[in-house]
Structures are given as structure tokens and as C-alpha cells.
Structure 1
């Protein structure tokens, strides 16, 4: 069996991670989230193995040094393709390579990967063995508790056992089934019931595995989940309420937060935003990931409105920065929560 490299530092970072989210966790989102937390593990969007092999790798896999620790999530179901993609991704210097066995989207199912792979654990085992053989960093898996009519009480422990036998020692479990027929990807994130106790039992049954829990995690739930699990992965809440999830996240590692309140973070983000605009980014590409920064706080509605309504009018870097400053001024002048 190939050796799966293990980094204690990345395992430590995985105490709290931000989930890979298609169309959301791009380089601008990750740069913003890294500003809020020095320690949390960040993930790319899922990139398919064929895209890595045949597509514009610099655009798909490019990242910045400041993003670390950061993991690359790959989608695929062909061991040879995944091995090739892993080897091609290696020079980009990600801290972890993660195989997607959890996404229920139509695009993923049509490629016969993602959550549908829960039905073929032996194939998943072959995939991760092939990836481990080509990876200089740890290969991990993100999965569901089952799909369709599978019994999670039987399927999940069998799946975890097979992953362990294939050399995987770190798995993130989304604590919902995926229904591949009849539910949209959005519904699959909300309708199937969460089963946290099952995932907690898996940690007790597999004490040698590093297991993180994902699915429906809200601000304020992380510490409680860490009483049962090695790590917690937060998805939509980290995106829509970034300050509430990440603003004080570094306390999990005994460190003080980089900022005392979200307006300080917004001010600190300005130089990075200016640099990205100078490289050719449009203001909307960046600020769309920041709309929830002031969630539940004074000026939140005005912040969202100024950035959303004015983004299409800002054609130059100077206009983009002026729009950002105007939105931040609205927050500074606000007195009522919105």
C-alpha cells in the first residue's frame, strides 16, 4: 500500500475547516476567509480530474501563498485519471488533496462521481490508492452517510473501513444522506435529516481515524461538535455569516482573533482588494463573497445594497475602490442593526 503522507499541522488546522463549495470558494473567497482566521483549513471549489488534465491548470489551481493551509478538492471516478490529476496538481503546493464522494449535483452524477460513489466503495478505495501513490501530501475523502435507500448504519462503517484499508486516515462526513433522484442539489443540502449521533458513533467506532463532521453546522455549534469529533467543517454558514463563524475562530487554537470587529476586517481587506483589482479582477468577483460580513449588525443592509447595486457600474479599479469605501462608510455611520 502506498504511504499517505500525514501532516500534524494540517490535522491541527482541520479542527475547523470551511467546506469546498462550487461557485463560492474561489481564490477571492479564500483570501477573505484567511484574513478572518489565520488557522482554519480552507478548501477550493471541486475541480474535476479531466479539467486538471486537459484544462487551464494555472487558472483552475492557482492560489496565493497567504491562503495556506488550503486543500484542493478533486472530483472523479477513474483511478488513472485521478492519479494523473493528483500528480499534475502537486507542483501547485496544496496542503491536502481531497476526493469528493459527497456532492449530489446533476453535473457530478452525470460524470459518475461525487455522492453516487457511495454505492461503489471498492472503486473509491482504488481511486484513493492511486491518488496516494502520486501525492506528496495527505489524500483525504469527503463523503455522505449514504445515498438513496442505503442504510447508513451499515453503509457508513463499511465505507470508513474500506477507506482505512486503502490508506486513508482522515475523512469528513456530511451527516445527511444524498437522494440522487427526486431532490435538487439545494434540497439535498436541506431536506434529508441530519444524523449527528451516527457520525459521533463512527468516531467512537474508528478512534484511529481523524473524522470531521459537516452538514448544517451553525455559528455557536463548533465547540459542542468538537467534544465528539476531531474536526468540524462549516459550509454555508461560513459563507453567509463569515464573521460569526471565523471572526473568533482562532480561539480554538488558543490565539486571539486578528480583529475585534468586522469593520476592522473590512478595512484590512482593502489593500488585498486593491491588488486584485489592479490584476484585472472586477469588484463584484471579490465583494460577492463579503456581503454577509456584517450579518445581524448595524449597517448590514446598507453594506449589501451599496456593493450589490453599484458593482456593475464600477468599471475601473479606482471606481471599485470608491464603491467599497462608500459601502464601508455606510456601515460606519449606521446605528441600527439591519
Structure 2
């Protein structure tokens, strides 16, 4: 493990040779430089596709068994985890406790810097104990430089409880090694502003978390084609989206789609099943429950049952 007092050799702390004259660039040149460097974030995700895919499969399997997904980090890394977790309920209608973000310093650290708290490994372990992590859960530790004690403490405590652990860092394993079930390295190189990991490291982390959570929800049947059929209809924008999904997939008018949405209890997935099978709300709910909410599987089962033997 890296000496926490000597981090200058870390990839995320090194000097970027392309931005040595950063303070001498005009605004257009600044934008061009940041833009060219940001392309490295997309390439880094591509390089990490195998462990990312494994993380999706592992997490989906645990959640099917009743587990939960936790993101844990400090500073920018912690904020990105909290953001991804917060966006799951409206997008996929998940219960708030299914995907959770934990940040060093708690909710206050979301809007005010509290980076000093990242050095407390015992606080990370305490966060795991407080949430009663079990062997069904998945804990994703996010640390750009790979050395954050808060994250290390949390992941070590999670492993002791039998949880699946995923380590996400933006430095190679030969600089910072850590024992986790899945090791994801997102290597974007030195930052344009040396050491400012809210830049490329933050961007690549956001990309990876988007892929992880969305991939898991796809595996859990919360998507049909590329439509968010479990969208929570909680405001006018989301109601409009729900109606457009119903119109596109059923061919119904907007008015008829509205009636169907109301009959289903504002659940797009159930509305589609009711339309395609002529089942009532209660029967549709039972069929979906029998297929763990997978709409495609539920429709296929219904259609097979209608065929003459």
C-alpha cells in the first residue's frame, strides 16, 4: 500500500506535459485542451470493460437475492456515488434503500468541503456497521488516487461481513494495490490542473457509475428495449415521458395512453403488459411478480400459454 504521506508518484498527482503553460492560454485554447484531455476518459472506460461487466453481473445477482448496492467515497468520489444512487429511484422506481451513497462527512459534505474526514478509516468501517451490511450486499469503494483511508476501512469491513467488494481507482495496481473482489482501474493520466481529480478522474468515474447502475437495472428487468418502463411518474416531465413510451410501444393515442396509465396505477411496465395481454391490473401484477418484474419474460410466458397445445 502507498505511503499516504508520499503520493507524488501516483498517476493522478503527476504533472501533465500538455498543460505546462495552462496559465498562458486564451479561453479558446483552454477549452480545446480540456476537451482533448477528456477524450481519455472514454478510452479509459473501454479499457476497463471486462471488470465493469463483471461488476454489473455480480451486483445484479446480489440484488436479485435481496441485497443492496452501496457507493462509498470522499470528496468528489463520494459526491458522484451519492448522485448516482439518488438518480436510481426516479429513473427505475427503485426503493431508496436499494442503491445508497455514503460520503465521508455525511450529507453536509455534499455541499461543503470536508476532505479531512477522508483520512479516518474507522469512520468508513463504522458506516458499514451502521448500515448492517451483509453477504447479500455490494459495496463499491471509489477513490481516484486509490489511497483514501475512509474507503479502505469501509471495504475491509465489508469484506469481513461477506459483502461483494468493488474497488474503483484512477491509478494502476502497481502504484496502489488493494484486495477486492473486483478491481476497476480507470486510467486517464495526469490532470490538466495537476492533482485536481474532479476533472478527468471525476468524469471517468461518472461514466463508470452510469454504466454500472444502468447495466444492473437492465439486468433486473427495469428496461424494455431502451425504454425506462419503471420510470416513477412523479412530475409533469416524467408523466409526459411515460405517455410517450406508451404511445410509441402501443400505437395508442395520447388520451388513450393516459387512461391506460391511470388504470395501471401509473406504472408504465404494468400498463404495457395490460395492453398487450388484456389482463386486468391484479392479474398483470401477479404475472410480473412471477417473473421478478421482467416485462419481456412475462409477455413471453403469457403468449406461450395462449398457444393451443
TM-score by length of 1: 0.35
Structure number with higher strand proportion: 1
Q: Which has more helix, going by share of residues? A: 2
- Bigger radius of gyration among the two: 2
